């Protein structure tokens, strides 16, 4: 059977999206290749036409999933970053790893992965960090924001009680708020409105 010219890119995109969601939910190492391929609704042959190994798939998933975060942080608007952080540090994100950030679920596996996978992770997460620097004002605060948020989701998912989870998320929201600059009159438009009078 002959496929159209868009079949291969479509299969790759579906593999990255569906296999990425399953890996974030169940763990990449704990999920067999057949399950990852099945989740995407493609054949093993289609998988091997895209990737040489499961290791290469992890590298591609890491890049794909981290790049999905970039649009949310490609802004110097503090309010937009604050809103993103609030959604990130939410019960919904804790309950739905398959829909969320790959850092809390895949970072430990990336740490045990190939050098190429770790280089992909570092290169991509640095793009996120560099964007956040425009808001936090310095590199250290941007890293602190990333690690605070991702670490909080990781810990919140491990808590046995709803109270424990809530405590972790509330503390993380407060810590993240402290890393972001406070709104000024100019930010809210008050100063500009008064100046025009």
Tell me the residue range of the domain where 36 lies.
Answer: 7-52
Q: For residue 189, is it within any domain?
A: no
Q: For residue 191, is it within any domain?
A: no
Q: For residue 1, is it within any domain?
A: no
pTM for the whole structure: 0.85
Q: How many Cα atoms are found within 13 Å in the side-chain-facing hemisphere of 152?
A: 26
Question: How far apart (Å, rounded) are the C-alpha atoms in residues 136 and 179?
Answer: 7
Confidence of residue 46 (pLDDT cuts 50, 70, 90): confident
Q: For residue 100, is it within any domain?
A: yes
Q: Are residues 95 and 16 in the same domain?
A: no
pLDDT digits (tens, 9 = 90+) for 100-157: 999 999 999 999 999 999 999 999 999 999 999 999 999 999 999 999 999 999 999 9
Q: For residue 57, is it within any domain?
A: no
Percent of the chain with pLDDT over 90: 83
Predicted pLDDT of residue 183 = 66
Q: Are residues 133 and 43 in the same domain?
A: no
pLDDT above 90: residue 196: no
Share the mean pLDDT of the chain. Answer: 90
Q: For residue 193, is it within any domain?
A: no
Q: Are residues 42 and 132 in the same domain?
A: no
The answer to whether 64 touches 20, Cβ cutoff 8 Å, is yes
Q: For residue 190, is it within any domain?
A: no
Total number of domains in the chain: 2
Confidence of residue 8 (pLDDT cuts 50, 70, 90): low
Which CATH number fits the domain that encloses residue 41?
Answer: 1.10.10
């Amino acid at each position: 059977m002959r496929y159209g010219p868009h079949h291969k890119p479509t299969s790759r995109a579906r593999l990255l999206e569906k296999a990425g969601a399953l890996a974030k939910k169940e763990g990449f190492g704990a999920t067999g290749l057949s399950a990852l391929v099945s989740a995407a609704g493609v054949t093993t042959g289609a998988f091997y036409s895209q990737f040489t190994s499961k290791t290469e798939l992890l590298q591609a998933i890491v890049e794909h999933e981290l790049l999905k975060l970039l649009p949310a942080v490609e802004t110097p608007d503090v309010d937009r970053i604050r809103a993103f952080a609030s959604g990130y540090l939410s019960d919904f994100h804790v309950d739905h790893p398959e829909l969320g950030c790959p850092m809390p679920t895949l970072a430990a596996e990336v740490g045990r992965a190939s050098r190429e996978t770790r280089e992909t992770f570092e290169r991509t997460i640095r793009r996120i960090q560099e964007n956040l620097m425009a808001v936090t004002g310095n590199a250290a605060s941007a890293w602190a924001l990333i690690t605070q948020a991702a670490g909080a989701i990781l810990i919140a998912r491990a808590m046995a009680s709803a109270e424990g989870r809530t405590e972790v998320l509330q503390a993380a929201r407060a810590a993240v708020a402290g890393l972001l600059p406070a709104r000024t009159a100019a930010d809210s438009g008050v100063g500009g409105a008064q100046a025009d009078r």
